[in-house]
Amino acid sequence: MMRSGFRWQDDAGHVARGGSAGARRIAWPRTLAAKRDEALRAEHLRFVHEEARGGMLHCFVLDCSHSMLSGQRLALAKGLLVALFDQARVTRSEVALVCFGGTGAEVRFGPAVPRWWNERWIASIGGGGGTPFLPGIDKAGELLERAARKKRTQQRWLWVLTDGRSSHLPSRPVGADHVVVVDFERERVRLGRCSHLARAWNGECVPVDALLSGSHA
């Protein structure tokens, strides 16, 4: 299974505008979205806000449909998840995983701080069948709303890992403070539904190759 060097926050030698010397953590998803295909420059940097004192919850929605089996996309997504779960374990952040594919969706983990055996159980997740995107987002939305009621000061991130092969456009889950759509579409003729979803939800769309390139490390 592929490992990723991706980290959603890190120490930097720059201080955020209006911030203090203690607020030096880069928010990599937003930084990469601002950078796009350009060389990384100081003006691209986006920083983690101080408000996250109540902890972090990263809710991942994984597309396990048949189209994700093409080109080993699902295997790539699972490798990325292992790296993200391992990072969450180090930073004591909570994570949750919702998988959708076939005829439905289910919560496979959390919300909880992940443990050391992430790779073992994530590797066994299978794929195939249709793309029940709406049930997947509904499950994630319910989970985020429960988390919001339980921990009001927690920062809640929604990550959608998909190739965008669903034409549905559900409403943005109200419990999500930030949205990142990880785009697994790699065809020459692109549908662009991942970027469309991110724009509709006022979130970021990040190509998976940008997260795996290591350019941010």
Q: Which residues pair with 161 in a beta bridge?
A: 62, 182
CA–CA gap between residue 198 and residue 196 (Å, rounded): 5
Please tell me the least confidently modeled range out of 7-11, 47-51, 135-139. 7-11
What percent of the chain stands above pLDDT 90?
A: 42
Q: How confident is the model at residue 60, as a pLDDT? A: 97
CA–CA gap between residue 147 and residue 55 (Å, rounded): 11
Q: CB count, 10 Å around CB of 189? A: 6
Q: How confident is the model at residue 26, as a pLDDT? A: 67
Q: Where are the alpha helices (DSSP H) in 123-163?
A: 133-150
DSSP state of 216: T
Can you spell out the DSSP letters for 56-125?
A: EEEEEEEE-SGGGGGGGHHHHHHHHHHHHHHHHHHHT-EEEEEEEETTEEEEEEEEE---TTHHHHHTT-
Question: What does pTM read for this prediction?
Answer: 0.76
| Span 91-114, pLDDT tens digits | 889 999 999 998 899 999 989 998
Which 3 state secondary structure label does DSSP give 133? helix
Q: For 108-137, what is the mean pLDDT?
A: 88
| Span 168-181, pLDDT tens digits | 889 999 999 999 99
Distances in Å between the Cα of 107 and the Cα atoms of 62, 83, 90, 191, 208 are 10, 19, 22, 28, 23
- CATH number for the region 52-212 comes to 3.40.50.410
Higher pLDDT, 201 or 34: 201
CA–CA gap between residue 210 and residue 194 (Å, rounded): 15
CA–CA gap between residue 75 and residue 142 (Å, rounded): 27
Q: How confident is the model at residue 211, as a pLDDT? A: 75
Q: How confident is the model at residue 90, as a pLDDT? A: 84
Residue partners of 105: CB distance under 8 A and separation at least 6: 98, 99, 132, 135, 136, 138, 139
Taking all residues of the chain, what is their mean pLDDT, rounded to a whole number?
Answer: 80
Q: For 41-60, what is the mean pLDDT?
A: 71
- pLDDT at residue 159 tops 90: yes
Q: How confident is the model at residue 5, as a pLDDT? A: 42
Q: How confident is the model at residue 77, as a pLDDT? A: 93
In the structure, what pLDDT confidence band is assigned to residue 167 with cuts at 50, 70 and 90? confident
| Span 4-27, pLDDT tens digits | 444 444 333 333 333 333 344 666
Task: Rounding to the nearest 10 degrees, give the CA dihedral for residues 32, 163, 77, 45.
Answer: 10
